[in-house]
Amino acid sequence: MKRFASFLMISVLSGVLTLAGYLLFIDKDNVLVEANTGIPAYTPVKMNSLPTGTNADFTEAANESVNAVVHVKNVATVRRSPFSSSTTQALQGTGSGVIISPDGYIVTNNHVIQNATQLQVTLNNNQNYMAEVIGTDPKSDIALLKIDAEDLHYLPFGNSDNAQIGEWVLAVGNPFNLTSTVTAGIISAKSRDLGMDSNISSFIQTDAAVNPGNSGGALVNINGELIGINTAITSQTGTYVGYAFAVPSNNARKIVEDLIEYGDVQQGILGIRGVQAANLPGEYNIEISEGVYVDQVEAGSGAARAGIRSGDVITRLDNVKISKFSDLIGYIGSKRPDDVVTVQVIRDGDPKEFDVTLTKYEVYQIKAIGLEVTNASTDELKQRKVTNGVKITRGLTPQMQNEQLYGTIITAIDNIEVRDIKDVEKIMEQRSPGQSISVTFVTPDGEKQKYVWR
């Protein structure tokens, strides 16, 4: 009996110690681990194997990708102190890039190389090269670099239009300076608009882990094809929380080709202003919930010449389904001026089809007052009863967006007549920083107004 009691006491004591140990060392909810070394803290995660019957093999794609993804280091010349005229070179940041040709062309993000005075590129084999900036497109956050090298491993562009939601992908880059890191996930969404600024964006969304340092890296499919350039994450902590976004490869490829051939991005436009059909109020009596409702058609644009009208609902472009405005922006963003796009619309309940020749998007941003302008057509000038001017296309700041100035004609800046955006650019380049600016407007109602910004 005493022996049994001893065993019972030992069992109870063991159970108490086990429970106490669990509560003390394991059951710690909502604990945030921070380190003062600047090295990221890591927590173990549950690893899931591929679902039964899945034949996805990432090894070949990973091996090809790591040899084509590079580490980009941005070095800028900065002043040693506010009280000194001497300068020094300092590392501004690091990111990733993707080799897209055997002779050393590299695509990355514009924010990775912005303000750099020197760019160093390190390959997966630890070879270092100095890089030259061929061109940038801040609007899409794409930049093109070139290193002096031959016979490099590179990634071929895939067709991002063919990428499917749920498809396996790899994100390859250098997060936290951990070089040649590969993570896996799926495509979570397409044509995602993050609403980060006044531009409508059209990203591929993935749950493959992307962190600071991955910017400019590759998003590849299991065939090893480049289908996106990793660009952004949405997180309150600044690190990965399950959502990452990439510029689609079709858009990136078109930008790269433009920068090589023309030196800048050639942007084609349909020439319409619209809104998602699902966002229309009830009085429009639109029964379609997917598509882009055409609110206005630009005079002289390809859409106008083809016969598209206000009230049409765009549902497809070249057999690519258009559910929302970011679908349209993403697809047109992969095209150039003079490209012909087949536009399918619903008009008064009936389907119609138009072949639209895209026109060139020419704008100038007057950043001093937060407005973007484009050349006004002859018809638009006649409607306002003026002989010269440029047309406001959008506000660049929340304040100017609230003013709803679209279509307003600017006839003069600082009392100098403007006839096109080149006149505007010339005036702005000759102004002194901080100088007040006066702008003469003619509203869509024909009212003439003058404002001064100080």
Chain segment 56-108, per-residue pLDDT in tens: 789 999 999 999 999 999 987 666 666 656 666 666 789 999 999 999 999 99
Residue 187: which of 163, 154, 155 has the closest Cα? 163
Instruction: Give the number of domains in the chain.
Output: 4
Q: How confident is the model at residue 20 (pLDDT cuts 50, 70, 90)?
A: very low
3-state secondary structure (DSSP) of residue 125: coil
In a domain, 35, yes or no: no
Q: What CATH number does residue 370 fall under?
A: 2.30.42.10
Residue 408: which of 394, 391, 427 has the closest Cα? 391
In a domain, 28, yes or no: no
Q: Give pLDDT, residue 380.
A: 84
Q: How confident is the model at residue 148 (pLDDT cuts 50, 70, 90)?
A: very high
Residue 389: which of 451, 441, 450, 448 has the closest Cα? 441
Q: And the tokens for 313? A: 């609902």
Query: Hey, which residues are catalytic here?
Result: 111, 141, 215
Same domain as 367, residue 294: no
Same domain as 272, residue 248: no
Q: Of 360, 376, 391, which residue sits at a domain end?
A: 360
Q: And the tokens for 265? A: 């991005």
In a domain, 86, yes or no: yes
Q: How confident is the model at residue 447 (pLDDT cuts 50, 70, 90)?
A: confident
Select the more confidently predicted residue: 57 or 113.
Answer: 113
How confident is the model over 127-152, as a mean pLDDT? 95
In a domain, 31, yes or no: no
Same domain as 385, residue 349: no
DSSP letter (8 states) at residue 311: T
In a domain, 12, yes or no: no
Q: What percent of the chain has pLDDT over 90?
A: 59
Q: Give pLDDT, residue 397.
A: 85
Same domain as 340, residue 404: no
Question: The pTM is what?
Answer: 0.75
Q: How confident is the model at residue 440 (pLDDT cuts 50, 70, 90)?
A: very high
Q: Of 261, 280, 303, which residue sits at a domain end?
A: 261
Domain of residue 168: give its range: 160-261
Q: Which long-range contacts (CB under 8 A, 24 or more apart) does 228-232 make?
A: 228/160, 228/169, 228/204, 228/252, 229/98, 229/107, 229/108, 229/109, 229/142, 230/96, 230/171, 230/173, 231/109, 231/141, 231/203, 232/141, 232/194, 232/196, 232/203
pLDDT in tens, 171-197: 999 998 888 899 999 999 999 988 655
Same domain as 251, residue 171: yes
- Work out the mean pLDDT of the chain and round it to a whole number: 84
